[in-house]
Structure formats: structure tokens, C-alpha cells
Structure 1
Amino acid sequence: MSWHAEIEELQRLKKLAENMGGEASVQKQKSRGKLTVRERIHHILDDNTFHESGALAGKATYDEEGNVKTFMPANFLLGTGKIDGRKVVVGADDFTVRGGASDGGIKAKQEYAELMAHELQLPMVRLVDGTGGGGSVKSLDSSGSTYVPINPAWDHVVKNMGRVPVVAAALGATAGLGAARVAASHFSVMVEELSQIFVAGPQVVKFGMGQDLTKEELGGAAVHRASGAVDNIASSEEDAFMQMRTFLSYMPSNIFELPPVEESEDARDRREESLIEAIPRNRRRPYKVRELLEKVLDENSIFEIGKHFGSSTVTGLARLNGHPVGYLANDPYVLGGGMTRESSEKIERFVDLCQTFHLPIVNFVDQPGLVIGVDAERKGTIRKGVRAISAIYQAQVPMIEIILRKVFGVGGAGMINGHGLHQRYAWPSGDWGSLPVEGGVQVAYRRELEESDNPEELLQTLMEKMESIRSPFRTAEAFGIEEIIDPRDTRPLLCDWVEDAYKRLPQLLGPSSFTMRP
């Protein structure tokens, strides 16, 4: 006897599972401009690499002879596949079955996906489309009791943050646990006009808070573009998948491996002539720092993260001579590049990301310091700023500082570990101190200016005197700055540095002394 009959039944059940929530539910999903869960998995993975686990999990009805009559699959798919040839774990909600809520699925599948990523040391890809939590209160009628909630597999969700890269996409209205699964990642993205993220949906908010809002008004891209709840906004599902793939291309598969180095087509000795005039001589004039970064980092390698949150600081991933690095920079167009509460949170999280996955950091500094004023004080900016600085001091990955212009106060001083080996280089436009000379002179010489018959003339005399003293060459004479460089030499210098940095990385592999948090 053979097992042909069982194999045929296995294939039949798999075919039923591929129908997802049924034709009507699938068409409803498509009518909203959304891909199905299986289409999403196909788009994000390399062709023909998805190996599904748990396809037969679901709810079946049987005839009198014990044969399956109907089958409704669980609304969570999981398995392994490849992205750019490297294996990953994928966990994806199927909104066509009970709107992605856990009362339409089997929570063990979600738990198994997180466990699989942890134990196999593979990146975790979450495609979230639903609440993922307890589902409708109606389910209590059949269960006959309430329950003390527990977040499925959250122990491994937390552990994975310190072990493997985790990327998540919000691909519909995600609430509660669904929203938490998006946030508990190293990189998250939502789709404009398609995704919403909230702790509780509009109906619950209306009942509990008296606020009558649409899904978009409550948690759409316009709300979260600068909230910090997600990192990036995508224009379409396909764009979201491309961003997730791009992020992972800079990451090792786990903390025990080095970031993947690629062959670079960009000359390591490229010297951009325009860098000599990139920083205006007028210190009050801003400049476009992103254009500057493009002239130093590998061409077409820059992937910015969190552009609209804490926007006085620019963070992202890039390559130097094919080597993945993290970069920090200040945007002088936003509060002069100063450290706000939000940008401090952004710096802390980003530095922790680079530390977790052993990416060297290039810090392009034009830092006037922590922002001042009563609004900043009410936000407790000093505490958040100190946390960001502490993250920089705790980081063990190689870090290099390119001083473009300002380095002032506590914020400026904290952009590199000032008590270690200073790998820092200044452009001739460097300007530094405990506070800017312009404001410092008026504070330091306040009495003399008040008593002067011609305070404007005295101020001008004092400023002319200070102008020569503030020259970066004076600082170099005292070895207060190790090296002043021609801006055009920045890329060759960094390409040399990054190769040395990668030689040091093997001794840093493994877990950090602290687990990264979202």
C-alpha cells in the first residue's frame, strides 16, 4: 500500500488554504487597492523562494465520514524565503480572514515565526494588516470567559531586537497589538493613504474619548510622518517592500556576522571640487547637508531613515567603498541643526541600531548644541539629550567625526566620545566653544557694554578681536583639534578609515551589553 491518497488530500488542503478568506473577501481586499497576503510575500521575497510552514492550520468542517468539507485557513502566514539571496523569516497577516484579528487565527503561528527567527538567527520580516490582538468582544460569547491579556511571543520579540534585524510594514489599519508589532522593529514603514496605525481604532476612541475621527485622521500618514511611531512613509506597497529590502541590504543576518560588503563602482579617491565651497563663509547661512553627503558617501547608496521625525538631525545608512555604515548629520535648515527632544531620541535609537549590528558610524557635525527656550525646557530636552550622548559614549563600534562647522555646548561635545581616541577631522569652516562667540561676548562683557558710551562700537571691537581667536588654526596650534583637512579629501580619508574599521569589527561580534529597544 502507498500513501498516495494522503498526499492527494494534503495537496487539496493546501489549495484550499491558498484561497485565503474566500473569493468575496479577496475581492473586497483588492477593491481597497490592497495586495493579498500571498501577493505581498511574493513581492518582498526573491522569486520562488518562499517555503511555507503551518499551511494546514485553520478551521475545518467535516462530513459524516470525517472528510474535510470546508477549510478556513488561519489568518497568519509564516515561512522562510530569501531577499537578495539571503534567507529571512516572514510573518504576514491575512486581512481576508477576520480582518487579521487573532480570534480568526492560531496565535501559535505568530509565536512560531518569532521563535524561528530567533533560533535560526535570521532576519524577521513582519507584514502587518490587522489588529493582531484579541479581536471582537463577540468572541467572548463563545469562550464563556474573559482573560488576562498576554502579548504573543513578546519575549522573543524583545530578544530579537538584540539578535536579528527586524523590519515591519503597516499595510492597512493596524491597531493594538498589530501596531505594537510594527513599532517593535529596527525599521518600520507605512503606506500613504493605505495604512493607519493607532492604539485603538476610531470607534473605540469615539466611545472612550468622545473624538469622532476617521481612520486617516486618527492614524494616517499625515499623523505619523513626524510622530516617530514609524520610520518611513512609502508611496505604495511595492515601495514599502523595496524600502524593507534596501534596509536589510546593509544589515548582517544576525549579530554574529559582519555587515555585507559589496563591490563599489564609486572611486574611493573621488574628490568633489564643490566641497571647497559647500559651507558658506557667513556662519548664519544654512546649506543643504544632504547634497553634501552625496558628494562624500558612495554614489546611490544613501538610505535615509526617519526624515521627518527629529528633523534637525539626519540619520541613515550608506556605503563607503562598498562597506555599510551608519551616518549622522545636522540639518542647519531646521533649528540650525540643534538637538531637540525628538532628534535626541532619534540619535539614541540610531546609534543603538548601529551598535547592535556593528555598523561603523560617520558623524558629520554642525551641532550648535541643545535647543534652548521654555518650550525645550518643558519637554525635558536636557534629559533626552543626555540619553543620546550616553548612547554615543556607550557605543563600541568605530566612529569618526567630520566637523563641518559648529561644535558648541553639551550637545556639540557629546557628538563623539571625547575621552577616547579622537578620530575626528575638521574642515576649515570649523567653529567651536562652550557657546557661540556672538552670544558669548554679549554675556561675558555685559557690564562693560552697559557702561560704554558707544556700546555698538565696543561690541564691534570685541568681535573683531574674538574673530581671530576663534580661528580653527589657533585650536590646532594647541592640539585642540587633531587635524584640519581640505574638504575635498573627506571621501578618500573616510574610505581608508572604513577599511581599518572593518578589520576591528570581528572582535565586537555578538550581543551588546544592552538589548536594543524600539
Structure 2
Amino acid sequence: MSWEKEVKELRYREELAKRMGGEENVQKHKSFGKLTVRERIDELLDDQSFHETGAIAGKAEYDDNGNLIDFTPANSVFGTGKVLGRKVVVSGDDFTVRGGAADGAIHGKQIYAERLAHDLQIPIIRLVDGTGGGGSVKTLDTSGYTYIPVNPAWDLVVSNMERVPVVSACLGSVAGLGAARVAASHFSIMVEKTSQLFVAGPPVVKYGMGQDLTKEDLGGVDIHQSSGAVDNVVKSEEEAFEQIRRFLSYLPSNVWKMPPVIASTDEPNRREERLISFIPRNRRAPYKIRELLPLLFDQDSIFEMGRYYGGGTITSFARLNGYPVGVLASDTYINGGGLTSESSEKLERFVDLCQNFHLPIVNLVDQPGMVIGVPSEKKGTIRKGVRAISAVYQAKVPMIEIILRRVFGVGGAGMSNGHGLNQRYAWPSGDWGSLPVEGGVHVAYRRELEASDDPEALLNQLLEQMESIRSPFRTAEAFGVEEIIDPRDTRPLLCEWVQDAYELLPQQLGISRHGMRP
């Protein structure tokens, strides 16, 4: 007696599932320049590593004799596979079946995917291409009643954020719960021309708000490149998958494991001659911070997140002698590198991300403080800035501060926890205080300047007097800064520090006191 007949039927049903929404729907989907969900999974994962779960779940029709006559698979495909040799859960929406909407789904599949990542303690990657919400109002005709909405598996979605790396790719027109699934991630990504993200799509917005918009106008990459709703924007799905692989390469599989260290071919004692003149002597002159990073960190190891949101603050991963680290820096070409409402939120989230997965942080400081003026006040910048500073103070991961130039005001003071060990090195270009001397003189000597017969000459005299006092060597004499270094020594010192940092990390593994939120 054999079960070969049943196994053949199983294989037949699996083949039906691989047809997805049928040839016509598949071709229409691909005509928009998009891969199918199964092609996406194959492109993302290591070769031949995908093991699908629930392939034959869907809606079946039978004849009077109980024979299968038609089958439409559920519009989600999930299972486990490997990325760079490490096991992950991958869950993808199939837009060819009911446009990825919930009324073509079996919610148990999405819930099980989140549970699988949660309980196996492995990363989850969501390939989102649909609404994922309640589906069409037409379904009320068949159900005969409405319902109070519940976000499926949201307890697991929230819990996974503090346990395992969560990545989401927006790969089509994504609305409602689908958009929420993209946002509920440590790293999210969109594709130019084929991705749109919104709370509700154009027809709902037109009816509810009277705004007649295209999908691109409402939620295309031009909107979300700088909205903060997603982290990165790429030109193709293949590039999206490459970025996902890179993002995961810096992180452990869960918070109970150490970040993955790789062999480095870059010399840890590399001393770049360019560093000695990298910071302009003119204190008001900007410089290209992204050109500095490869001079300090391992070659080809920089991975930036959220470049166009809160652009004055740079957040990225990198490696030092093969050890993954988080990197904070200021882009002096945008608001002088000062903290805005947006860049404060960005800094807070990134520090929390590093804390969550126990990555040491290198902070390259040239911080003029929080951006001032009426627009900043209207955005409540002080509260957002204080939240960012609090994230720095609450972080327990090792952090080192390299002072490149300015450290001013509340914002500058909050770049490191001054009440801890506060490991830091300053370059000779360091310039610090409660206020920049130029502005401070105007305030402190306002009456004298107003009463002077030659205020310009007096101002120049006062500035000349202050010039020697503001020297970083004067601060070092008072041990107000621990060490001033030759900028060319920075990489060797960082590579020595990161080894010490990784010795401390095993004591910190596990869920952080402040669980991570999106």
C-alpha cells in the first residue's frame, strides 16, 4: 500500500500554486517592469535555499464528485531561505492574485511568517506589493456584516522589532496595512517608478479630501525620498535586494547574538595623508563628509541609510578592521550640519537601532547645535532634539566621539554622554563652547558695541583677543578634552577601540531596556 497518489496530487497542487494569478495577470504584472513574487524571492535569497511553507493554501473549487476543478493560491508566499548563508524568513505579496489585497489572502500565512521569525529568532524580510488591509467594500455583500478592524499579527510585528532584524521592500502600489507593514521595519526601501506608498490610495483621497492625484503625486519616490516613511530609494528591484543583503550583513540574526565580524583586507593602521588638511582652516567653510568616511573605515564598507531625510545628519553602517559599527556624522552643506526636527528624529532612531542590535557607535562630531529660527521653533525642534540626546544617553553600547570641528550648545553637548567614560579624541581643528565666539561676542558685548564710536574696530579687537583663548590646546591644558590627536592617527585608534568595544558586548546581549519602535 502506497501514498504515491496523494503525493502526486500534492505536487499537482503545488504546480497550480506556482501559476499564481494566471498567465494573463502575470504578464500584465511584468509589463510594469516588476518581478513576480516568486522571481523576487529567487533573486533575493541564496541559490536553491528557499523552502516554502503553505504553498497549497488558497481557494479551491470541486465538482460534485469531489474532484479539484479550479484553484487560486493565496496571494502571499512565504518560507525560509538564506541570505549570505544565514537563515531568514521571507514573506511576499502576490499582486497577480486580487492585487495583493486581503480578500485574496489567507491571514494565517502572514501571521505564521511573523511567528516563525519571532520564535526561531531569525530576520524577516517582507516583500510588500498590495494593500494587505480589508480588501474591497464589495466583500460586505457576501459577509453580511462589517467589523472592527484588527491588524493581523501586530503583536508579533511589534515584538519582532525588539528581537530580530526586520526589513521591508515596497515593490508596488502599497496602501493601508501594507504601508504600515513597510514602515514597521528597521530598514525599508522603495523602487523608482514602480513603487508608491500611501495611507490611502488616490480614489479614497479624491473622495475624502477632494484632491485628484496620481499614484506618483500622492506617494511616489519624490514624496517619500525625504518624508522619512522609508529609508532608501533605488532604481530597480535587483538593487533593492542587494541593499537588503548589505543591510543584514552588519546585523546579528537576533539580539542574543553578536554582530557578524568578517575578515578585512584593509590595513587597520592605515594613515591617510589627506586627513591632515581635510577640515578647512576657515571655520565657516563646509566640506564633503562622505569623502572622509572611506579614509577612516574599511574600504567599501559604508552603507548609508536615509540620506535625504534630515540630511544634515548622516547615519550609516561601516566596518573597522571587519567589525560592524554604526556611524553618525554631520553634513555641513545642509544647515551647517545642525540638528533639525527631522535630523533629530533620524539620529534618535539610528542610535536606538544600534542599541537594539548592540553595534558600537562612532560619532564624527562637527555639531553647531540645534538649528534656530521661527521655522525650527514651529516644528518643536527642541523636543525632538532632546529626544535624540536622550537616545544617546540611554544607549549602553560602546560609543566613541571624534571631534572634527564644532561642538556648540545643547545639541553639541548631547553628541555623547558626558557623564560616562566619554571616550573621545579631538582634532586640532576643534572649536567648542556654549556659543560660537563670533555670535557670542555680539551678545556679550552688545552694549559696548552700541556705545562705541567704531563698533567694527572694537568687534575685531574683541575677536582677536578671543582667538587665542578658543584654541583647543587651552582646553586640553585644563583637561577639558582628554586628547588631541593628529587626524592621520584616527583610523588606527578607532581600530584599537573597536576591539575593546567588542570585548564588552557579550555582557549586553538580549532585549534592550528600551524596546525598539519603527
Post-superposition Cα deviations, 1:69-88, rounded to whole Å, max 9, x if no partner, equal 11100000110000000000
Does 1:58 pair with 2:58? yes
> Which residue in the other structure is 1:378 paired with?
378
**Alignment-derived partner of residue 498 in structure 1:** 498
Q: CA deviation at 1:276?
A: 0.3
**1:7 equivalent in structure 2:** 7
TM-score (norm 1): 1.00
> What residue is the counterpart of 2:182 in the other structure?
182
1:322 shift after superposition: 0.2
Q: CA deviation at 1:419?
A: 0.4
1:295 is paired with a residue whose SS is: helix
Residue 211 of structure 1, CA deviation = 0.3
Which residue does the alignment assign to 2:389?
A: 389
SS at match of 2:296: coil
Matches within 5 A, 1:96-495: 96-495=96-495
Aligned partner of residue 193 in structure 2, secondary structure = coil
TM superposition shift of 1:67:
1.5
* AA of the residue aligned to 2:50: F
Query: Cα distance, 1:244 vs. partner?
Result: 0.6
Identity over aligned pairs, percent: 72
CA deviations over 1:45-94 (Å, ceiling 9, x no partner): 00000000001110000112211111100000110000000000011000
Q: Are 1:85 and 2:85 counterparts?
A: yes
| SS in structure 2 at match of 1:362 | strand
Letter in 2 for 1:295: L
Per the alignment, residue 20 of structure 1 pairs with 20
User: What CA distance in whole angstroms lies between the structure 2 residues aligned with 1:68 and 1:267?
Assistant: 64
What is the CA distance between 1:332 and its match in structure 2?
0.5
Q: After alignment, is 33-42 or 61-70 more displaced?
A: 61-70
Moved over 4 A (4+): none
- Which secondary structure state, in structure 2, belongs to the residue aligned with residue 343 of structure 1? helix
Distance apart, 1:425 and its partner CA: 0.4
CA distances 1:229-268 after superposition (whole Å, capped 9, x unpaired):
0000011000001111100000100000000000001000
Deviations 1:365-403 (A, max 9, x none): 000000000110010000000000000000000000000
Distance 1:105 1:455 in 2: 75
Structure 1 residue 515, shift from structure 2 partner: 1.1
Letter paired with 1:320? L
1:30 deviates by 0.7
Between the aligned partners of 1:255 and 1:152, the Cα distance in structure 2 is 24
> Which amino acid counterpart does residue 415 of structure 1 have in structure 2?
M
Structure 1 residue 294: Cα displacement: 1.2
Whole-Å separation in 2 of the counterparts to 1:437 and 1:335: 19
**Counterpart of 1:342 in structure 2: which amino acid?**
E
| Cα distance in 1 between the residues matched to 2:31 and 2:475 | 65
TM-score, reference length from structure 2: 1.00
Letter of the aligned partner of 1:195 in structure 2?
S
Instruction: Report the AA paired with residue 306 of structure 2.
Output: G
User: How many residue pairs were aligned?
Assistant: 518
- CA deviation map 1:260-297 (0-9, x unaligned): 00000100000000000000000010000010111001
How far apart, in 2, do the equivalents of 1:32 and 1:247 lie?
27
Q: Which amino acid aligns with 1:197?
A: L
Q: 1:315-371: per-residue Cα shift (whole Å, max 9, x none)?
A: 010100000000000010001000000000000000000000000000000000000
Q: Distance in 2 between matches of 1:18 and 1:46?
A: 20
Corresponding letter in the other structure for 1:363? N
> Which consecutive residues of structure 1, in runs of 5 or more, have no partner in the other structure?
none
**Distance (whole Å) between structure 1 residues aligned to residue 467 and residue 332 of structure 2:** 21
